[in-house]
A and B are shown apart, each in its own frame.
Chain A
Amino acid sequence: MAILEAIGVGKVYETRGVETVALDAVDLAVEEGEFAALAGPSGSGKTTLLNLLGALDAPSSGEVRLDGEKLADLSPAALSELRLRKLGFVFQAYNLIPVFSAAENIEFVMELQGVSAAERRKRAEALLAEVELEGLGEKRPLEMSGGQQQRVAVARALASRPRVILADEPTANLDSKTAIRLLELMAELNRNHGVTFLFSSHDPLVLERARRRIWLRDGGIDRIEEGAVA
């Protein structure tokens, strides 16, 4: 069963009366446990589609379903709850909360879910170990390298035990060695936890490791490639 579905999804942006079609009637289904990537050149609609699938934006036409639930039917509060319980995000610029330590960043999402303090601490330590940042939990983001920050971001995305992690250009600010290690880590998490990963990227390192590549061009799906390259 598809965990994520886009059915005839379109997105039109309007700026000062000028309409720009970012997506046009896109149909896409992402199966549970997939390790897939949205690929394509800049402006092809990758990030827009990722935002729509992640309930960060609403489509101009068509519908998006997450775990069978039609997002358009949900109230803003229900959408927040859905993002909190079922989705995890990893962004290009890490986007950790700078006034929180690494452990606090990870625990924050769990606290929003109502997880007890002891359980949060235990899970945060385990996640930090899993992303190979054991002992760095008290460091603030600005005291960490880009790779370390992105691994904290992955740990944070996993902290809520989501069904799907959406990663928007997660390797864009990393050197290739760090990027490879991060992607290996994500692949392990995908294998070990069964978490669905959907990337938006034009980084060959990401695309080589994705088991399905959905190529977008001019707001529509150009082609879909199956099977990992690496």
Chain B
Amino acid sequence: MTSMLRLAWRNVFRNPRRTGIVITAVAVGIGGTLFSVAIFSGMMQQMVENAIQTDLGHLQIHARGYDADPEIGLLLEEGGRAEIDALAGDPAVRAFAPRIRGEGLVTSPSASVGVRVLGVDPPRERMLSLVAGSLVEGSYLDAPRRALLGEGLARRLAVEIGDKIVISAQDLSGDMTGEAVRVGGIFRTPLAALDRGTLFLSLEEAGSLFGLGSAISEVVVLGGARDEIPALQARVLAALPEREVRRWDELQPLLRYMLDTMDQMAWGLYLTIFIAMSFGIANVLLMAIFERIREIGILLALGLSRSRLVFMVVCESIFVTLVGLGIGFGLAGLCLVLLSDGIDLSAFSEGLGAFGMGTRIVPALGVQDLTIPTVVALITALLASAWPALRAVRLRPAEAVRHD
């Protein structure tokens, strides 16, 4: 078997120019596709991470029924103590934070805007959300009766730091209530919707506004790697059977759909590229077979079985493909290293913000992004070698050994 592999490997490089052209085609094709996938993947991952690290978290714990109808009366009592106790000992939990989530109308001297009001525990929220790190002005809820607004919302209300705004809302008992606060901070995140329509208050002030007392709407949880979250979800659910524990992709199925679509698109891209390449590979192998008819006849005369002959041709195809694949991976890797600081797309910031993306896209590749092209490449190599292998095994030794 060693000799067969060695023979196949050396055969590949008998015509360096021809093999080089095919390897270059595979390398450039795979490198370009991989790089494109890396950019799309980077955009998607950033969109998901932005959503997780601003609003969704990896898990959210709510009172039962909240998912179907997220009304203000479905609460976790005592500041979510039972929920927090259940999370405290789990090593997979990186951070958690209680929140109050409600709707309201915010009024400035210039405008009134319907907003989502989020009451947060600033020290805990800092560890979970990137909003605190996205301040462009002011401070992060470090004084009483201060509100934190997105840049878009501040612009809609035409307010600045220190300006007074009034928040009106319906409290737990259904009565209209209101609070006058000052703009304490303005943030800018990659999520345009968050910036334009969310107002942050401290947990106590939001509780007071909605008349919730010590109750909260949810506990948001940040875990480790995304693939560990289902296990964490199962553990939390087992500890809190009376609660709804939802993953980020259950809360925002569109994000999961987009990631899945991205994977399917990658498969489609690779299949298209490799089907096109398979003709080139098959052509090179066929030419190589025709050039070596006499040699193949000799191999058959020496006692090489037809199955081993097929193995040799398949190996030649796989070697060409894998060398091209390796170089393609290298090219894509080089591009990723060169662009490790990200691609600046600030010229398109508004459009990207609408999709929850930042203005600096860092191309990203996961193990799966390398697995898909490898699997597709190996399938392609097998398919591409089928025809040449068939031609080779059909050769009759007596005629082949006399071939000029």
Contacts and interface: CB of A to CB of B under 8 A. Distances in A.
Interface in B1-38: 1-3, 6-7, 10-11, 14
Interface in A83-113: 83-85, 87, 89, 91, 93, 95, 97-100, 104, 107-109, 111-113
Nearest to B400: A56
B396 A89 contact: no
B303 A99 contact: no
A227 interface: no
A54 interface: yes
Interface stretch (B277-285, B292-300, B329-337): B292-300
Q: Counting chain B CB atoms within 10 Å of each CB, which of A57, A87, A99 scores highest?
A: A99
Contacts of B295: 95, 97-98
A99 B14 contact: yes
Contact residues of B: prevailing secondary structure? helix
B300 A51 contact: no
B302 A104 contact: no
Contacts of B396: 56-57
A89 B3 contact: no
B102 interface: no
Contact of B301 (A77, A83, A85): A83
B304 interface: yes
A26 B128 CA distance: 93
The interface size bin for chain B is: 20 to 34
Contacts of A112: 3, 302-304, 308
B234 interface: no
B397 A57 contact: yes
A57 B308 CA distance: 20
Contacts of B239: none
B90 to A, nearest CB: 55
B306 A89 contact: no
A222 interface: no
Contacts of A93: 294
A76 B304 CA distance: 11
B397 A56 contact: yes
Contact of A108 (B11, B302, B307, B401): B302
A91 B305 CA distance: 20
Given A84-B302, A112-B308, A99 B10 contact: yes
B300 A95 contact: no
A114 to B, nearest CB: 10
A44 B217 CA distance: 100
A81 interface: yes
B27 to A, nearest CB: 23
Nearest to A111: B3
Contacts of B11: 99
A107 B306 CA distance: 19
Given A99-B11, A108-B3, A80 B401 contact: no
A160 interface: yes
B401 A56 contact: yes
Contacts of A156: 302
Contact of A56 (B1, B3, B7, B301): B301
B7 A97 contact: yes
B398 interface: yes
Interface in A32-73: 47, 51, 54, 56-57
Q: Which 7 A-B pairs rank lowest in CB-CB distance, beginning with the nearest?
A: A84-B303, A57-B398, A99-B10, A51-B398, A56-B398, A83-B303, A56-B397
Given A98-B14, A100-B7, 10 more contacts: A57-B396, A77-B307, A80-B304, A84-B304, A93-B294, A95-B295, A97-B295, A107-B3, A112-B304, A113-B303
12 contacts: A51-B397, A56-B301, A57-B398, A81-B305, A83-B300, A87-B303, A93-B294, A99-B10, A111-B2, A111-B3, A112-B304, A156-B302
Interface of B: 1-3, 6-7, 10-11, 14, 294-295, 298-308, 396-398, 401-402
